[in-house]
Structure 1
Amino acid sequence: MLRGNQTHITEFVLLGLTSDPKKQVWLFAIFLTMYLINVAGNSVIIAAIRGDVRLRTPMYFFLSNLSLVDICYTTVIVPKMLANMVRKSKKFPFAQCLTQMYFSVAFGITDSFLLAAMAIDRYVAICKPLHYTTTMNPRRCLLLVIASWVVSFVHSLPYTILTARLSFCGPNIIHHFFCDVQPLLMLSCSDTSANELLAFTEGSFVIMSSLICIIVSYMYITCAVLRVPSGRGRYKVFSTCGSHLTVVTLFYGTVISVYIRPSSTYSVTKGRVVTVIYTVVTPMLNPFIYSLRNNNMKQALKKLIRRVG
């Protein structure tokens, strides 16, 4: 298809999480529920932030963008997975498969950059409070968000282009619930060394650079908190970062275990389970993580409910 007579496969078959019809029924119900909770929860977070003037700060500006990305991220993956569960034919055209891979990689990287931007915001707020207003001004925050989106979508292009140039001679069965990078490479009958090198080096750099930014930010935050004399004061400062740290741990812990490793050590079964966590579970939990421990968000949500009611 893309390389003349060398490529024979024009579509793939997505097996999903299981081929057992009985298991597919309750898996469909579970993932549909999780998807609806994700869309509804993150939409409510966005609406609450936009509707409350007290939440028009850099932290909540980044959070609203993170919620938008989470909705987009799961929408790229879950609806197709649900459709495959109820259809007999699980065929997925090659072009659509590449499109899904492109957007899933792009939104995943955007997530990581936004988490890094939120860490920088917390660092400035805690370690340099007198300079917070000027450092994290609206223009700079907007540039950080735009850069996160643009760099992510540009970064995912090389993965897609290199994958499009591969030959797929058979089999065409993907033991996964979406077109992810590693499962596609495992099916190729041509040399995938360039793809693997790109995924391991440049992919590692992008993911690890944002993670290092978060780690360094929290090292400075920890040092600043330890200088606070009262235990209550230290708890108050740390509590503002607890939600962000929880999301960072869930996201990076699972992403690194899947992508920052040689393809020879990739396990399809373990990869599917871990991938479910960062593509479906974490985006669904984010609204609860950020709202349950945040009094400002609780008040904004109550205000939104009263206004809608």
Structure 2
Amino acid sequence: MLQENWTIKEFIPVGFPGLTLNYYGLVSTIFFLAYLATVVGNAVLVILFLKEHSLKKPMYGIMFSLALADIGTGTVVLPKIIAKYWFNDETIPFHACFMQMEMIHYFVTVNIFTLVLMALDLYLAMCNPLRYPVMMTHRITFALNITGWLGSFILTTVVTVQAYQLPYCGPNCIIQCYCEQNSITEQACADSGYQQLVAFTLAITVLLGSLTFIIYTYTHIIVCVMRVSSSHGRWKTFSTCSTQLCIIAVFYLPRCGVYICNMFRIYQLPDLHIFLIVFYTLFPPFINPLMYFFRNKQISHAVDKKLQI
């Protein structure tokens, strides 16, 4: 049973420590436009996946799940950052901070599981095309998506509950733009080493485990592609893979860089460290719709058709 063993009532996300007041308006405007583009872009994808008959395929069901998670990520993170720099609203209530922490890690974990499903879907389509219609039906992809969402909730709830049980008696300033697990547990007035170890272990396991699987599947995909006799066929297949590879690279590379720096205790300037975390949290949801609109012919064709009506 959880005990209310804290004395502070709110947290104060510091944001970027080196940012002066003169740039608050510019920063808040940038974040607002990024939020608007993230929500609108992914919402358009969601509507297209629901309404357009040509997109009623298992692979687009996985993309639908990714778009929902991207909307969730942006909505949980960005409004509070915008409020801080636009309206000077710096505080966040204690319980709301833990709710934000739970939801941020939840949607990011859903993203990871969804990228794994995308890699699996492409692997089966490229390497086992005859078995693909049997192995990736609508029912199976729906079950896999639901498993990813439920599994993500369980993992992130474990981390959140452990952090919530720690006593917090000050200081209440978070060196971060939002309520992130490490920045919160560092404020506990008790030894949080165990909680941080559990969170780090789960994060590394999910991150590296999923990345290992993705690398494995794409290695087999590349081998299958190289067996295609026609250079035109190889180019067409690589073009199909390029969108997902770009999305995966944008999602994983900055994260791995930050985790490596933390693991080996490589010093980073606070503003740079916070920027990298904000970047790898918010840039993928922003860029994913653009990648699909410009790189996926079926989605771009569906958008053109809707615009002509």
What's the TM-score bracket when you normalise by the shorter of the two chains?
Answer: over 0.9
* Pair 1:305-2:304 in alignment: no
State how far apart, in whole Å, the 2-side matches of 1:192 and 1:84 are: 28
With 188-197 and 253-262 compared, the bigger mean Cα shift is at: 253-262
Q: SS of the residue aligned with 1:187?
A: coil
Identify the residue that residue 163 of structure 2 maps to in structure 1.
163
Identify the residue that residue 121 of structure 1 maps to in structure 2.
121
Deviations 1:78-115 (A, max 9, x none): 01111122334411111111000000000000000000
CA distance 1:31–1:68, change in 2 (3 Å): same
Identify the residue that residue 133 of structure 1 maps to in structure 2.
133
Identify the residue that residue 14 of structure 2 maps to in structure 1.
15
Deviation at 1:242, TM superposition (A): 0.5
CA distance 1:172–1:265, change in 2 (3 Å): farther
Identify the residue that residue 246 of structure 2 maps to in structure 1.
246
Q: Which AA in structure 2 matches 1:144?
A: L
State how far apart, in whole Å, the 2-side matches of 1:234 and 1:228 are: 6
Structure 1 segment 226-245 matched on structure 2, within 5 A? 226-245=226-245
TM-score, normalised on structure 1?
0.93
Q: SS of the residue aligned with 1:9?
A: coil
The alignment-based identity, stated in percent, is 32
State how far apart, in whole Å, the 1-side matches of 2:89 and 2:222 are: 53
* Pair 1:184-2:184 in alignment: yes
Q: Which AA in structure 2 matches 1:51?
A: K
Structure 1 segment 276-287 matched on structure 2, within 5 A? 276-287=278-289
Deviation at 1:139, TM superposition (A): 0.9
User: Contact between 1:49 and 1:300, CA under 8 Å: does it hold in 2?
Assistant: no
State how far apart, in whole Å, the 1-side matches of 2:266 and 2:7 are: 27
Identify the residue that residue 80 of structure 2 maps to in structure 1.
80
CA distance 1:262–1:190, change in 2 (3 Å): farther
State how far apart, in whole Å, the 2-side matches of 1:51 and 1:306 are: 16
TM-score, normalised on structure 2?
0.93
Q: SS of the residue aligned with 2:12?
A: strand
CA distance 1:56–1:193, change in 2 (3 Å): same
Deviations 1:129-184 (A, max 9, x none): 01111010111100110011000011001111111122223221112110011111
State how far apart, in whole Å, the 2-side matches of 1:202 and 1:296 are: 37
Deviations 1:232-285 (A, max 9, x none): 111111111101110101111122333564495574433311122222222111
Unaligned ranges ≥5, structure 2: none
Q: SS of the residue aligned with 2:11?
A: strand
CA distance 1:264–1:98, change in 2 (3 Å): farther
State how far apart, in whole Å, the 2-side matches of 1:208 and 1:235 are: 29
With 29-38 and 15-24 compared, the bigger mean Cα shift is at: 15-24
With 259-268 and 74-83 compared, the bigger mean Cα shift is at: 259-268
Deviation at 1:3, TM superposition (A): 5.3
User: Contact between 2:177 and 2:278, CA under 8 Å: does it hold in 1?
Assistant: no
With 209-218 and 133-142 compared, the bigger mean Cα shift is at: 209-218
Q: Which AA in structure 2 matches 1:216?
A: Y
User: Contact between 1:199 and 1:259, CA under 8 Å: does it hold in 2?
Assistant: no
Q: CA RMSD in A?
A: 1.9
State how far apart, in whole Å, the 2-side matches of 1:2 and 1:31 are: 36
Deviation at 1:20, TM superposition (A): 2.1
Identify the residue that residue 64 of structure 2 maps to in structure 1.
64
CA distance 1:259–1:157, change in 2 (3 Å): farther
Unaligned ranges ≥5, structure 1: none
With 200-209 and 153-162 compared, the bigger mean Cα shift is at: 200-209
